Amino acid sequence: MNNCSHEKTRMVPNRAKEWAFDPDDEPDFVEERYSTYEDVDLHRTKCTQCGHLVYYSGAAKNYYENGVRTPGVRGLE
């Protein structure tokens, strides 16, 4: 595998500030980590940074990599 963490960070409003005893002690924004995987098609996702594919199941991997259909698995029949 490569050095991709499959995550990025972004700054979002600090929700803890709403409930803090002294809101001035809380930062306005905090860093949030989020996944860079997105749905590609039925039964698999792909990292938008490095292209790493993740299959929802062994049946999905077998279908996409080897063309083996799995009876009873919707979309892989």
pLDDT of residue 56: 93
Spans of all domains in the chain: 7-20+28-66
The pTM assigned to this predicted structure is 0.72
pLDDT confidence of residue 40: 94
H-type alpha helices, 1-77: 58-66
pLDDT tens by residue, 8-63: 999 999 998 888 888 888 999 999 999 999 999 989 999 999 999 999 999 999 99
Output the CA–CA distances (angstroms, integers) from residue 49 to 5, 26, 39, 67, in the order listed: 9, 32, 14, 26
